[in-house]
Structure 1
Amino acid sequence: MKQNLPASSEVKEFAAIDLGSNSFHMIVIRIVNGSVRILSRLKQRVQLAQGLDRNNRLSAEAIKRGTDCLALFAERLQGFSPDNVQAVATYTLRQAVNSEEFLTAAAQIFPFPIRIISGVEEAKLIYSGVAHTQPDCGRKLVIDIGGGSTEMIIGDEFTPLAAESRPMGCVSFSKRFFAEGKISEKAFMQAYKTALSTIEDLSWEYRNLGWQTVIGASGTIKTVSQIIQENIDKSGLISAENLQLLIKRVLKFDHIDKLKMPGLSEERAPIFVPGLAILHALFENFRIKQMYYSEGALREGVIYSFEESFNQSDVHQRTINSLLKQFSVDRKQADRVAQSAALLGAKYQHWKNPEQAEEMRLMLHAGAMLHEIGIAVNHNGMHKHSAYLIKNSDLPGFDQAQQNLLTHLLRYHTKALKLNELTEENRYAAQDTKALIILLRLAVILNHSRSATESTEKFTLDTDENAAQWELEFEQGYLERNPLTAQELAKEKEILAKNHIRLVFK
């Protein structure tokens, strides 16, 4: 049910609760200037699915674990209006023949309604959570491996085109194939083949729709990415090759108690191997080459369902606008710098990874709009404050790699430049990061005098293939009419020279 969110000047808090098969999660947020700010996340391992018997009856012990967790959540939500809280239950309570018994017990200590949602509704909410927290990347396949079910969705922007939920999850498969914690290649292959047969009818339809990007959400996929990052590939990219290497390493262990790997938590270990088998089947069935991890999932989808207007705007820009208001940034100056940055970015043609050119221009725009947010802390060291604020903020629409890149842009948009101190980002070529920083620095310089600066679109920009030689040529008389700009460019020439970059301007 849609709620009317407060006007930008009014602040209210909202909560979304996900009663999953393995864990219960709660997220509490505040709407600030039309954007979501996360206040807290709470997670409790409940293992509800472990309490389902062969007749799909939920045990009294599992019900007690669930209601104990809800009592903790209720304490955090004291003072909340029921209109501002949404709690949804998924696979296990969908399956439980005595789900009403659980809901009755929950109502005694949790004064908010709980909805048991269908698998398709769960899938669509997961897609919404991903779409609102990840950068737009065209058509995407979103996958979420839960405790009892797995959701698979293809969509464009905020609209799901195909959404399915199938009864295979890391908790249910753990009970079925890895009893008593024993690990074997035979059990792994049985789990894999069962998962494959559960989803093989979707293969043609989904591959026919197609996608540009595959995004995974929730615990199993997060853990796989962490283990790959710690043991195989620093980028944490879940590629088909990296996944095979991980499976081979995992199958060297014969029991969950012995399964010790950097990146694998003690809590996740008991259900990791069945989740890995399901992920293997998904990669094979849909012929997935690589998958990225998303922090957004069901809970975030519930949060964004509070307000329909969230689905009608660009997530990047919504986040930027919120930060501009929050830190009282001079919007006219930000727009001036962004306009110059766009002109410079359009003239730069030597991206090391040309397939990322559009993403680079989007990041340049974000850096130009947000470079002055640090003034809210102090004008002195503003660039450092701006970088700190970005690094430590929730940025819906920006993934972790983009947030790191934006932090670098703001940190080095002015003053001293030490390119050798940049931390390496596996997703972005070092040359492209360097070029982006230089483009933003030049855009800031061209607007150094703020409204007193004469704006110009009449200039050329030439660079070499290595981004080591830069030549700016302005219309005749421009630098004479703008001596401060000429002076700042002369200073920039010296700074870049110390970084082995040659700047010529005339």
Structure 2
Amino acid sequence: MKIAIIDLGTNTFHLLIAAVRFGEPFIIYKTNVPVRLGEDITKENSIIPLAFNRGISCLQEFRKTIDFYKIKTIKAVATSGVRSARNGNDFVTAAKEVAGIAIDIIDGDEEATYIYEGVKWSGAITQSSLIMDIGGGSTEFILCDQENVIWKKSYNIGAARLMQSFFKSDPISLKDQLAIIAHLDAQLTELITLCQIHKPKTLIGSAGAFETFDTMINPKLENYTATIDYNAYQELSSKLINANHLQRANMDGLIPLRVDMIVMAALLTNYVLTKLNIKEITLSTFDLKMGVLAKSVEH
């Protein structure tokens, strides 16, 4: 069975057309578009008109591609940017009417489940681990081992949301950094407590920002997973945090969409590594989209 999967993220819309053969994914086509649906979303808790129109236009283009490949089965899921917006349902209605795409708004628990299924499929989980998926609107954490999910939760601390609330200086000031840390302290109490009990050995980053970290450290990724050297990551994160926008924009491997949000991702990753005393970092290139694919072919 061939299927089109659309992941409507707060920053980026993804289209994946794929099949599964002998238990392995076969990618027919994939693309992503920096729609920035969550632009200024924290001000009115609403998708602003420009972003709304960008999103619908993107889905119209996705529909043309899906029709070109003659795909009949479409699974479209919307995450934090749509589910947290007052006009999120209006966007879903417009997508159906204008682009002919039915969208499921999934909650944070479903999002974390799909992420886990994708990461598990990649083979990245080899011991007690904490999976982390930094989105634009939310960040998901899944505490797990090779066989089971121990705990999972989605928090409204995505990179775009943090940037809109706390990124007041460039390079980011110590004051802004401390404000972010205080915010994370207040938000992540349950995560820290549970991880102190279960002591995950590895932080597994699900695509997104972690793929950027890995690309900037080691551009030649050939597998579904990769080990990110801890010391190299620390050096990179310090470089990103201390640079200004123009300096980051000129760094190799850093796409325009992430030039500023990568600072938030680095601060968030540093917080988790420090609080949990984790020294091993793994990248899984399989993320929510691959989890949706995995679950879709089960049925």
Report the TM-score when normalising by structure 1.
0.54
1:297 is aligned to 2:290:
no
Deviations 1:158-191 (A, max 9, x none): 5322111111111111212224755333323322
In structure 1, the partner of 2:268 is 278
Match of 2:71 among 77, 80, 84: 80
Structure 1: how far apart are the matches of 2:287 and 2:266? 19
The answer as to 2:162 corresponding to 1:187 is no
Please, which of 266, 269, 277 is the counterpart of residue 259 of structure 2? 269
For residue 98 of structure 2, the aligned residue among 94, 109, 113 is 109
**Residue type at the aligned position of 1:80:** I
1:43 paired with 2:32, answer: yes
Q: How far, CA to CA, are the matches of 1:51 and 1:68 in structure 2?
A: 19
Q: Does 1:208 align with 2:197?
A: yes
Q: Secondary structure, in 3 states, of the residue corresponding to 2:208?
A: helix
Compared CA separation, residues 24 and 60, structure 1 to 2 (3 A): same
Change (3 A) 1:135 1:171: closer
Number of the residue aligned with 1:224: 213
The letter of the residue matching 1:274 is M
**1:110-129 superposed matches below 5 A:** 110-129=99-118
User: What residue identity is the alignment partner of 2:74?
Assistant: V
Residues in 2 aligned to 1:75 and 1:34: alpha-carbon distance in whole angstroms: 28
Counterpart residue identity of residue 81, structure 2: T
Question: What is the letter of the counterpart of residue 182 of structure 2?
Answer: K
Equivalences for residues 17-96 of structure 1 within 5 A: 17-78=6-67, 79-81=70-72, 84-96=73-85
Shift of 1:264: 2.0
Q: Structure with the greater relative contact order (CA < 8 A, sep ≥ 6): 1 or 2?
A: 2
Please state how far the C-alpha of 1:128 moved relative to its aligned partner. Answer: 0.4
Matches within 5 A, 1:337-352: none
User: TM-score, normalised to structure 2's length?
Assistant: 0.89
Q: Say what the alpha-carbon RMSD is for the aligned residues.
A: 2.3
Maintained 8 Å contact 1:178/1:187: yes
> 5 Å matches for 1:385-396?
none
- Secondary structure of the corresponding residue to residue 29 of structure 2: strand
CA pair 50-126 structure 1, distance change in 2 beyond 3 A: same
CA contact (8 A) 1:15 1:85 kept: yes
> Aligned residue for 1:131?
120
Q: Deviations over 1:186-207 (max 9, x none)?
A: 3233223322332133212123
Deviation at 1:49, TM superposition (A): 1.2
- The CA distance in 1 between the partners of 2:19 and 2:227, in whole Å, is 32
Identity of aligned residues (%): 28
User: Is the contact between residue 240 and residue 283 of structure 1 (CA under 8 Å) also seen in structure 2?
Assistant: no
CA distance in 2 between counterparts of 1:158 and 1:111 reads 38
Output one character per residue of 1:269-302: Cα deviation in whole Å (capped at 9) or x when no partner.
Answer: 1211111111111112322212111100100000
Cα 1:181–1:19 change in 2 (3 A) is farther
Correspondence list, 1:158-197, <5 A: 159-179=148-168, 182-197=171-186
Amino acid at match of 2:239: R
After superposition, the Cα gap between the structure-2 partners of 1:52 and 1:136, relative to the gap in structure 1 and judged at 3 Å, is closer
> CA 1:215–1:251 in structure 2 vs 1: closer, same or farther (change >3 Å)?
closer
**Contact 1:243–1:280 (Cα < 8 Å) also in 2:** no
Task: Pick the structure with greater CA Rg.
Answer: 1
For the 8 Å contact 2:59–2:101, the answer to whether it is kept is no
Describe how 1:92-491 pairs up with structure 2 within 5 A: 92-157=81-146, 159-179=148-168, 182-229=171-218, 237-253=227-243, 255-259=244-248, 260-308=250-298
Distance apart, 1:237 and its partner CA: 4.4
- For the residues of structure 2 that align with 1:266 and 1:98, how far apart are their CA atoms? 27
Structure 1 letter corresponding to 2:177? F
Q: Is the partner of 2:274 in helix, strand or coil?
A: helix
Q: What is the deviation of 1:51?
A: 4.0
1:438 corresponds to: none
Unaligned runs of 5+ in 2: 220-225
Using the alignment, how far apart are the partners of 2:122 and 2:208 within structure 1? Answer: 16
Taking the aligned partners of 1:20 and 1:171, their CA distance within structure 2 comes to: 11
Q: Compared with structure 1, are the counterparts of its residues 205 and 252 closer, same or farther at alpha carbon in structure 2 (3 Å cutoff)?
A: closer
Contact preservation (8 Å) 2:42, 2:164: no
CA distance in 1, matches of 2:209, 2:23: 32
Cα separation, 1, equivalents of 2:215 and 2:174: 23
Superposed counterparts of 1:488-499, under 5 Å = none
Q: Count the aligned residue pairs.
A: 291
Gaps of at least 5 residues in structure 1 are: 1-11, 231-235, 310-506
Aligned to 2:222: none
Hey, what's the Cα distance between the residues in 2 that align with 1:15 and 1:286? 38
CA distance in 2, matches of 1:211, 1:256: 34
- Is the partner of 2:262 in helix, strand or coil? helix
Higher strand share: 2
